Structure 1
């Protein structure tokens, strides 16, 4: 059994790596495959860390999730799917796309910290 602290460190560290790799994808002129791999792997590890945290908080498998968990999962799906797509497709407004991704991440963080009902 891994500890709550381990999952929390994994979750937060992978979020930092994910945001950094997204920033590099949005603001780099070259399309490096390594950045896409890093963002994909860290996105998966964000999910693993988050599910581990839920287990350590006592939220059982198959039980109804609180609203803040649903908000975080939806934000994770949006950021993980839209981030690489926007980084590749946007040409002129890359900064705006990146800031939009940061807003979605902020909503996820806010919902977890305040544990919205």
Structure 2
């Protein structure tokens, strides 16, 4: 597959992740929305590593990749905080939006640390 294909699939996965976060705000569809959240996380993880392999940086991953992996784990764990009522759903969605913006910045600009 081409790098553009991996990138497109990666974005689709992230859309699914944020559909899941949107579902946290509804009482009725929260369980099904979390299904989309999990599917989106898997899609974005697999396509992200596919992009890294295609770019040839899989062997020695730069710092921005490690930060993206850590933020990906945060996105995966945020619904647990809502379910256990550690944070309200609106707070989780706000944090998810901030983390998503950081992920977008790192993926687009690929800063050198």
Give the TM-score normalised by structure 2: 0.87
Which whole-Å CA distance do the structure 2 matches of 1:71 and 1:105 have between them?
12
Which sections of structure 2, spanning at least 5 residues, go unmatched?
none
Which sections of structure 1, spanning at least 5 residues, go unmatched?
none
2:104 counterpart of 1:104:
no
Aligned-residue CA RMSD (Å): 1.8
Confirm or deny: 8 A CA contact 1:21 1:35 kept in the other structure.
Answer: yes
How many residues are matched? 112
Residues 92 and 69 of structure 1: CA distance in aligned 2, closer, same or farther (over 3 Å): closer
Which whole-Å CA distance do the structure 2 matches of 1:48 and 1:113 have between them?
18
Confirm or deny: 8 A CA contact 2:81 2:87 kept in the other structure.
Answer: no
Q: Which structure would you say has the larger RCO, counting Cα contacts within 8 Å and 6 or more residues apart?
A: 1
Match of 2:101, SS state, is helix
Q: State the match for 1:75 in structure 2.
A: 71
Which whole-Å CA distance do the structure 2 matches of 1:4 and 1:108 have between them?
18
Confirm or deny: 8 A CA contact 1:68 1:111 kept in the other structure.
Answer: yes
Give the TM-score normalised by structure 1: 0.85
Residues 103 and 32 of structure 1: CA distance in aligned 2, closer, same or farther (over 3 Å): closer
